[in-house]
Chains A and B, each alone.
Chain A
Amino acid sequence: MQNTRVIARLDIKGPNLIKGIHLEGLRVLGDPHDFAKKYYIEGIDELVYIDIVASLYGRSKLTEIVKNAAKDVFVPMTVGGGIRSVEDVRDLLRAGADKVAISTAAVENPDLIRDVSRFFGSQCMVLSLEAKKQPDSMWEVYTNSGRERTNLNAIDWAKQAEELGAGEILLTSIDAEGTRKGFDLDLIKAITDAVTIPVIASGGMGKAQDLIDAVTIGGVKAVAMADILHYGRDSILDIKNTMHENNIPVRLSHE
């Protein structure tokens, strides 16, 4: 069985690593490079950088941040936030990114998913899907880092993105994000049942057991985590050891 990937998610605003709750109420934590380097040395499998205000203001420092990271970090990096065109993707890949995560621009122009996967391969094209549960119990897709409603059903959108050529889905539950109360397993299960491409669970990890649930109940191939690592509530090594003890294949040796 394929190793389950343990991913650190670094939300960026300007030059800073930040962390919020429900993608809001942001707190500055420091220089993203320091955190990235630490996670790399401790054995993280991948990093995801998301500029959470880029789609609002158009410009982002992500290219510089990734270029800088590429000096010290030698695991795959996914970069998202404010990507609007094939040219934007090319710039980020040349700066050292391996994949791009696209949310807002993909909703506005779904053909962008097809264009990116045609030019650079589907393995590069990660759909960033941010969803919030509605009173009628469907999950609605939000854009602009959880600020704007789209009227899109998350399950339909996931399927459409797969057909257009998305290679992976970074699935963030806005309800669970930053709460430390565990992933939204119903949402995760609904999406993993709907698509065959790998799904990365994001939002809500409070303890290692939440990850185990996302994999065994939710069916994800990877888990993204943020404040559990940023605040040092658990270590990558301990999380991976817990996975191993629970018979979830994981990359353990990295030296």
Chain B
Amino acid sequence: MSNLVTVLDYGVGNILSVARGFEAVGASVNVTTTVEGIENAQRLILPGVGAFAAGMTELKKNHLDSAIIKLAHSGVPLLGICLGMQFLMDSSEEFGETAGLGLIPGKVLPIPPNSHDGDSLIVPHIGWSGLELSGDKKNWDNSILVNTPVHSDVYFVHSFFSQPNNQDHQLAHCVYGGNSLSAVICKENVMGCQFHPEKSGLIGLNILRTFLSI
């Protein structure tokens, strides 16, 4: 199986760390800024840090957005990381409503400012939190988390989270202040991690390695 990974660089986010993470698990990484680069991808990574609307503006500027959607519909594995995962949804409520790529039905919502017992919560959620089985899932077989033990701690930095309409599209969540926040979403070949696998130690690298085998 090919070990090629294309990382999209649209000026937002820590491209180098994502590329190094994939290289550490044996990938051959190609960083692209163009529609052509996306069209040629055998696997595409959509990284991202920062504000949703600003990021979508960058993606739209050079029609990268329609190239990503086309690629995803052709069945090529696509992984969104952090803000890149939030782009997969229909829309975000960050600073007014902004349309996303619409690859996984659902919305991006702010982390509730209160914990479930009413205490105020520090937002952004920064730090290591455990991955938990979502919905009625018994395990993570046949998914990007197949090699990840339940409760594994991974590194999150976010103020917003993705809420898929269909519970089946949420593989894992973390619990922050008693609130469940989606951590890994998946719809066929389209996947997203809210946390940073490239900053989550060996557990995170293992998730990148699993993505390479998809």
* Chain A interface residues toward B at CB < 8 A: 2-3, 5, 40, 43, 45, 67, 70-72, 74-76, 93-98, 120-123, 167-168, 196-198, 221, 251, 253-255
Contact = CB atoms under 8 A, between A and B. Distances in A.
A70 B17 contact: yes
Contacts of B49: 120-121
A120 B14 contact: no
Contact of A3 (B128, B152, B157): B128
Given A67-B16, A121-B49, A98 B129 contact: no
B50 A120 contact: yes
Interface string B181-213: 000000000000000101111111100000000
B127 A5 contact: yes
Contacts of B17: 70, 74, 96, 98
B20 A254 contact: no
Contacts of A197: 122
B126 A74 contact: no
B124 A122 contact: yes
A98 B157 contact: yes
B176 interface: yes
Contact of A98 (B122, B199, B201): B199
Contacts of A2: 127, 129, 176
B128 A45 contact: yes
Interface in B83-140: 120, 122, 124, 126-129
Nearest to B158: A123
Contacts of B151: 253
Nearest to A118: B51
Contacts of A251: 128, 153
Contacts of A76: 155, 157, 196, 199
15 contacts: A2-B129, A3-B127, A45-B128, A70-B17, A74-B21, A74-B200, A74-B204, A75-B200, A123-B157, A167-B124, A198-B122, A253-B152, A253-B153, A253-B203, A254-B201
A71 B101 CA distance: 31
A253 B183 CA distance: 18
A93 B48 CA distance: 12
Contacts of B204: 74
Given A5-B128, A76-B196, A94-B16, 14 more contacts: A40-B201, A70-B20, A72-B24, A74-B200, A74-B202, A74-B205, A75-B155, A75-B201, A97-B14, A98-B199, A121-B49, A123-B157, A168-B126, A198-B122
B88 to A, nearest CB: 20
A39 to B, nearest CB: 11
Contacts of B144: none
Interface of B: 14-17, 20-21, 23-24, 49-51, 120, 122, 124, 126-129, 149, 151-153, 155, 157, 159, 176, 196, 198-205
A93 B199 contact: no
A167 B122 CA distance: 10
B171 to A, nearest CB: 19
A139 B58 CA distance: 45
Nearest to B49: A121
A72 B176 CA distance: 29
Contacts of A254: 153, 201-203
B86 to A, nearest CB: 13
Contacts of B153: 3, 251, 253-254
Contacts of B127: 2-3, 5, 221
B20 A71 contact: yes
Nearest to B197: A74
Nearest to B202: A255
A71 B120 CA distance: 38
A97 B14 CA distance: 8
B199 A70 contact: no
Contacts of A95: 16
B52 to A, nearest CB: 12
Contacts of B199: 74-76, 98
A74 B199 CA distance: 5
Contacts of B16: 67, 70, 94-96
Contacts of B203: 253-255
